[in-house]
Amino acid sequence: MDLSINEDQTQVLDAIDGLTRPYASVPVHDVAFALTSDELDAEIAMSGFYDVLAIEELGAVTAAMVVEKLGRLPFALEAGASSLVRPLVDAELPRPWCLVEEGNLDAPVRFLKPGATVLVVGASGVRSFTATAEHVRDAGDEVLFAYPMAYLAGLPDGMTSHDVPVATVLAAWRTAAAAEAAGLLAGALASVVTYVSERKQFGRPLATFQALRHRLAEAQVLVNGVYWLALKAAGTGDAGDAAMALLHAQDAAKRVNYDFHQMLGAMGMTLEHPLHLWTYRLKALSAELGGRGEQGLAAAAALWG
């Protein structure tokens, strides 16, 4: 499979860079636990970047690239479900999209708010409804994942059923989560590299110490692997590829998150440095769809039945 970036994809990614440049850094003196921007989300949606899957010459691989690129930003955006799942179900349903496992309704839901589309996936099929205030319970300080989150207060009696296979939706969900994790890992790594390149100890930058350089190099290898596996899963649409991509993404997040915060020393334990805006979102994605154990089982089932 040829996953090299073509001219069309380069133009899409360059356009996103230009559009998101004002949001590429954390606002001065901002120490929020999570960053969101309705203005940025609206601009991206209006520009059509959430809809590239439907464009024949772009397709799912470019959609995954868009999700990865947006994941690098310190601002949390609902890009994965909108870009890779929504077009398969019903592109006309309102955003943001919230993906929920039928057997895990007690878990906090990312981006859940009144007006959002909630997609419930499980043994009963693929069903959706538009959330109202009575379906949303504020999570408050109960969840600290650097995403806007809320709990489902309940499901409505009547939901819309969609004629799309559960396996297809789950594969797209896993691919979207892996692509977002790839962006988050890249954003976190870039933030750490900037810090250790500027922070001096014993008269020289931390980045010049061999022990740190080795660990950063290992992290870069993991980040690259997550990126390419996510693009492969998007390109094939295969359930096994999707499960392997998310498995590697969740495993990589677990392996590097601790290192990243340790490299920042005491700053890594504060909100003054923005590292948590990526790593705490990664912690949430590490539990997506049952975590590493479930991804391993899903990959095994897809590969060996």
Residue-wise pLDDT for 115-151, tens only, equals 999 999 999 999 999 999 999 998 877 778 889 999 9
Residue 211 has pLDDT above 80, yes or no: no
Instruction: Please choose, from the candidates 44, 43, 40, 36, the residue with its C-alpha nearest in 3D space to the C-alpha of residue 63.
Output: 44
Mean pLDDT in residue range 268-273 = 76
Given a contact cutoff of 8 angstroms between Cβ atoms, the answer to whether 74 and 185 are in contact is no
Least confident of 53-62, 84-93, 176-185, 197-206: 197-206
Domain boundaries, the chain: 166-304
Confidence of residue 2 (pLDDT cuts 50, 70, 90): low
End-to-end CA distance of the chain: 24
Kind and range of the H or E run holding 137:
strand 136-138
Q: What is the pTM of this model?
A: 0.94
Kind and range of the H or E run holding 183:
helix 166-198
Given a contact cutoff of 8 angstroms between Cβ atoms, the answer to whether 246 and 294 are in contact is no
CB-based burial label for 119 (10 Å; 0-12, 13-18, 19+): buried
pLDDT tens, position by position, 42-72: 999 999 999 999 988 899 999 999 999 999 9
Residue 209 has pLDDT above 90, yes or no: no
pLDDT tens, position by position, 64-121: 999 999 999 999 999 999 999 999 999 999 999 999 999 889 999 999 999 999 999 9
Amino acid identity of residue 13, one-letter, is: L
Report cis status (omega within 30 of 0) of the bond before 96. yes
DSSP for residue 232: H
Amino acid identity of residue 109, one-letter, is: V
The pLDDT, as a whole number, for residue 1 is: 66
Residues making up the chain, counted from first to last: 305
Confidence of residue 246 (pLDDT cuts 50, 70, 90): very high
The pLDDT, as a whole number, for residue 199 is: 75
Task: Please say whether the structural domain 166-304 has been given the CATH code 1.20.140.10.
Answer: yes
User: In whole angstroms, what is the distance from residue 101 CA to residue 97 CA?
Assistant: 13
The pLDDT, as a whole number, for residue 5 is: 85
| Residue 26, C-beta contacts closer than 8 angstroms, at least 6 positions apart | 35, 74, 274, 277
Mean pLDDT in residue range 200-221 = 80
CA dihedral 272, 274, 280, 286 (to 10 degrees): -150
Task: Tell which wins on pLDDT, 1 or 283.
Answer: 283
The pLDDT, as a whole number, for residue 212 is: 75
Confidence of residue 13 (pLDDT cuts 50, 70, 90): very high
